[in-house]
């Protein structure tokens, strides 16, 4: 049987850490050329490029913010010029802050909302438009169970991730007309830098909630993500799949 993503061209946001880095590597292992963006760490970007290239796949990295609309338009054009198109988009990049709502500052609220929601428009639109032209594509959004359950996480983060669910469901209706599928994974708590922003009490309680009895590993989510954006997943659109280690609802 062929690889899940053989011959595909993918772009992943936030490709140097945690889930994003794992997705880049697993997608390359499954046969995709992978481009990704990052914010600051050139050394981590080089590590991700090497992981992609070890599978003899092409890698492109872009040091550009997910809120930089002009930069992202240029990024999309460059990938299309070099590779001929983009088949897969994974909206993974996000930030969190360990804030209580009563003490959340205007700056903290705007930073989380602008990054986590604003990026959906800035990243997706230029790539979606070229997917429309080629009449095919998969968009996968990484949201959170914090958007669906009353967890003791930050309100701004949960709000932004809930918006991603609405974005997924509504865009999937329009996108389906053009042969483009839009789905999401609602991630539980994974062993990433983002998890370090969660309250300690939540991390302690997680061991009791999740039947797996541990945090998820980034590669575990990446394995499922590879299937979700593959041609074998041919009849799913507008869905939010929970991957959380069997946590109690």
Q: What is the pLDDT of residues 62-81, one digit of tens each?
A: 999 999 999 999 999 999 99
> Looking at residue 189, what is its pLDDT?
83
Per-residue pLDDT at 143 exceeds 90: yes
Write down the domain spans for the chain. Answer: 9-243
Residues 6 or more apart in contact with residue 49 via CB below 8 angstroms: 59, 61
pLDDT at residue 3, as a whole number: 94
Domain 9-243: give its CATH architecture.
3-Layer(aba) Sandwich (3.40)
SS3 letters across 174-221: HHHCCCEEEEEEEECCECCCHHHHCCHHHHHHHHHHCCCCCCECHHHH
Q: Would you mind telling me the total number of residues written for the chain in this entry?
A: 249
- Please provide the average confidence, as pLDDT, over all residues in the chain: 92
pLDDT digit string, tens, across residues 167-226: 999 999 999 999 999 999 999 887 777 666 566 766 676 667 778 877 889 999 999 999
**Six-digit token string for 178:** 């053009």
Kindly tell me the burial class for residue 188, based on how many C-beta atoms sit within 10 Å of its own C-beta (0-12, 13-18, 19 or more). Answer: buried
Give the active site residues. 157
| 247/245 Cα distance (integer angstroms) | 6
Q: For residue 207, count CB atoms less than 10 angstroms from its CB and return exposed for 0-12, middle for 13-18, buried for 19 or more.
A: exposed
The DSSP-derived string for 44-82 is: HHHHHHHHHHTTT--EEEEE--TT-HHHHHHHHHHHHHH
Give the containing element (helix H, strand E) for 10: strand 9-12
Percentages helix, strand, coil for the chain (3-state, rounded to 5) are 50, 15, 35
pLDDT band for 166, please (50, 70, 90 cuts): very high
pLDDT higher than threshold 80 for residue 55: yes
Supply the pTM of this predicted model.
Answer: 0.93
- In this structure, are residues 181 and 132 in contact, taking their beta carbons and an 8 Å threshold? no
């Amino acid at each position: 049987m062929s690889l899940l993503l053989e011959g595909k061209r993918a772009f992943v946001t936030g490709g140097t850490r945690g889930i994003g880095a794992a997705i880049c590597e697993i997608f390359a292992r499954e046969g995709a050329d992978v481009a990704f963006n990052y914010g600051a760490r050139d050394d981590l970007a080089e590590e991700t490029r090497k992981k992609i290239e070890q599978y003899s796949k092409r890698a492109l990295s872009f040091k550009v913010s997910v809120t930089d609309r002009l930069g992202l338009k240029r990024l999309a054009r460059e990938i299309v010029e070099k590779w001929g198109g983009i088949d897969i988009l994974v909206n993974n990049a996000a930030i969190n802050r360990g804030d209580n709502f009563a003490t959340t500052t205007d700056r903290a609220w705007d930073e989380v909302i602008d990054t986590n929601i604003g990026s959906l428009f800035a990243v997706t639109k230029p790539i979606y438009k070229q997917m429309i032209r080629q009449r095919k594509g998969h968009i996968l959004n990484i949201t959170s169970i914090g958007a669906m359950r009353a967890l003791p996480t930050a309100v701004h983060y949960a709000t932004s991730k809930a918006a991603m669910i609405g974005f997924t469901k509504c865009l999937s209706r329009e996108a389906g007309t053009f042969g483009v599928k839009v789905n999401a994974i609602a991630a539980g708590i994974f062993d990433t830098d983002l998890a370090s922003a969660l309250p300690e009490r939540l991390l302690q309680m997680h061991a009791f909630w999740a039947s797996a009895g541990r945090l998820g590993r980034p590669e575990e989510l990446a394995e499922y993500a590879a299937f979700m954006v593959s041609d074998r997943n041919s009849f799913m659109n507008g869905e939010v799949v929970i991957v959380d280690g069997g946590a109690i609802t």
